[in-house]
Amino acid sequence: MSDRRKTILIVDDDEGMRETLTAMLRRDYRVLRAATGEFALQILEKEDVDLMLLDVRLPGISGFEVLKIVRENYPYIETIVISVIKELDVAIEAMRYGAYHYISKDFDLESVRTLVANASDRQDLNRDVLRLSAEVAEQQNDREFVAGASRSTREILELVQKVAKLSATVLILGESGTGKELLARLIHRESGQANSPFVAVNLAAIPRELVESTLFGHEKGSFTGAVRQQLGKFELASNGTLFLDEVGDLRYDLQAKLLRAIQESEIERVGGTHPIKTNLRLIAATNIDLDKAVKEGRFREDLYYRLKVIPIRMPALRDRIEDLPALAQFFLRRYNIKFRKNIQGIADSTLQILGSYWWPGNIRELENLIERLVAVSDKDWISDEDLPYELHVAQLDTSGPATENLLDRAVSTFERNFIIRALEKSAWNVTGTARSLGIPLSTLKFKMDKLEIRELAKKIRGN
């Protein structure tokens, strides 16, 4: 991905100075020129300017007035003030109004080239900060795509390795909570552009009237509340990856604008008058059946096929249940750190119960459950009795032979949880637990073997 050529605006009433600066800079920059502040402001309304060389003394409005207007309306432009006046007060005033630097007109040509290059570098740095801020705002924490044992996960990872370094658009399909954004981040990391921005946008979470401005940016005064120029997500993701989540919820009238942005690699800010070139990798995701949406006239067919260059379907957790132990352990480690706990693991029998649940909320529901269990637990291991009631009911509905007495299984589940709790209170001392329960030691050992508690006790005691 190559950076676009930057545009520099030279504002000076001296034609010879404009010609000199143009000859000096045209090799590295696209150069625009203006002899007055008024004309410069007209250019700024029509052109996407990055840098500006501005004379202090201009006919009509002064250079300082131009600088003030630029600071308020085009905060991303870096300005270097030039003047014949060699006074400290002028330099201080220029910096106060937001200029990057101040030089007098008896400048050295090479020094000006260096100064302009430094201003350009600072602009890049400022844009990187904006991108990073946008990324942090969208990404509460840096999450990983957990590779489990299922065949479907392995096939997805193999496909990612094949397509990650391609610039083709990727469409990720699947139910809510299946990890579509995590997969998008994995594609970005494997693309060879891991240090470039990853900007995620949940289109369903943005008020409908703000979606266009959020994606494409806006100019000052383009609508009520637009008090200054604002870059959109397409510009913030420049040279990186833009992830559009819930793209199926995009307003129909904006689908044509998104299609144009993809096809032409250019956008236009709300209230803008000229196109802006873009250079990024687009990944879209949705939980909506787009084939059905196209047939019902809710989603543009041409946009659908433009997005569906490389389709990847994320399976529901119930369809990749072999991955659940790895996912559960991953979330356990994460929330151990977050809550400063030291829970050693999750009992095998507990993982079996988790594996029998339907998981309508998919991986997100599993993560929320593990977070809650870790937050409230004061034990070394998470075991069956820690799980909510509905997971026990699901286990009773799905495990064991159909002819087995469900009531007996429910009683066994309760008895197992009761004995584990008693063992915990006795610091896993079996003799002391039998005494506290008022039963013979041999009876407790028999029940521990029958209810598969003995192996759990060994793990917890470290034997």
CATH number at residue 55: 3.40.50.2300
Q: Are residues 283 and 175 in the same domain?
A: yes
Q: Answer whether residue 133 is part of any domain.
A: no
What pLDDT is stored for residue 137 in this prediction?
A: 46
Q: Are residues 104 and 165 in the same domain?
A: no
What pLDDT is stored for residue 361 in this prediction?
A: 93
Q: Are residues 391 and 265 in the same domain?
A: no
In this model, does residue 371 exceed pLDDT 80?
yes
Which pLDDT band, with edges at 50, 70 and 90, does 385 fall under?
confident
pLDDT digits (tens, 9 = 90+) for 90-125: 777 777 777 888 888 777 778 888 889 988 888 888
**d(C-alpha 448, C-alpha 429), whole Å:** 13
Q: Are residues 296 and 372 in the same domain?
A: no
242 strand-pairing partners:
199, 282
Residue at a domain's end among 258, 285, 315: 315
% the chain with pLDDT above 70: 90
Q: Answer whether residue 134 is part of any domain.
A: no
Q: Are residues 213 and 311 in the same domain?
A: yes
Residue at a domain's end among 85, 106, 127: 127
Mean pLDDT, the chain, as a whole number? 86
CATH at residue 361: 1.10.8.60
pLDDT digits (tens, 9 = 90+) for 240-271: 999 999 999 999 999 999 999 999 999 999 98
Count of beta carbons in the 10 Å neighbourhood of residue 42: 12
What pLDDT is stored for residue 269 in this prediction?
A: 92
Q: Are residues 290 and 338 in the same domain?
A: no
pLDDT digits (tens, 9 = 90+) for 193-230: 878 899 999 999 999 889 999 999 998 888 887 778 88
Q: Give Cα 259 distance to the centre of its chain.
A: 22
What pLDDT is stored for residue 333 in this prediction?
A: 92
Q: Are residues 350 and 283 in the same domain?
A: no
Q: Are residues 163 and 62 in the same domain?
A: no
What pLDDT is stored for residue 251 in this prediction?
A: 93
Which pLDDT band, with edges at 50, 70 and 90, does 131 fall under?
low
Q: Which residues, including other chains, have CB under 8 Å from residue 342's CB and lie 6 or more apart? A: 336, 380
In this model, does residue 166 exceed pLDDT 60?
yes
Q: Are residues 162 and 101 in the same domain?
A: no
In this model, does residue 138 exceed pLDDT 60?
no
Q: Which residues, including other chains, have CB under 8 Å from residue 27's CB and lie 6 or more apart? A: none
Q: Answer whether residue 132 is part of any domain.
A: no
Task: For the chain, give the longest Cα–Cα distance.
Answer: 106
Which pLDDT band, with edges at 50, 70 and 90, does 396 fall under?
low
How many domains is the chain built from? 3
Report, as an integer, the average pLDDT of 412-427: 81
Report, as an integer, the average pLDDT of 393-405: 56
Q: Are residues 146 and 282 in the same domain?
A: yes
| 136 vs 393 pLDDT, higher one | 393
Q: Are residues 288 and 417 in the same domain?
A: no
What pLDDT is stored for residue 304 in this prediction?
A: 96
Q: Answer whether residue 374 is part of any domain.
A: yes
Q: Answer whether residue 88 is part of any domain.
A: yes
Q: Are 142 and 184 in contact (CB under 8 A)?
A: no
Q: Answer whether residue 65 is part of any domain.
A: yes
Domain hosting residue 117, numbered range: 7-127
Which pLDDT band, with edges at 50, 70 and 90, does 135 fall under?
low
| 140 vs 332 pLDDT, higher one | 332
Q: Answer whether residue 241 is part of any domain.
A: yes
Which pLDDT band, with edges at 50, 70 and 90, does 10 fall under?
very high
Report, as an integer, the average pLDDT of 151-175: 93
CATH at residue 149: 3.40.50.300
Q: Answer whether residue 1 is part of any domain.
A: no
Residue with tokens 């949940």: 202
Residue at a domain's end among 299, 315, 331: 315
In this model, does residue 397 exceed pLDDT 70?
no
Q: Are residues 378 and 349 in the same domain?
A: yes
pLDDT digits (tens, 9 = 90+) for 427-461: 888 999 999 999 999 999 898 888 888 877 776 66
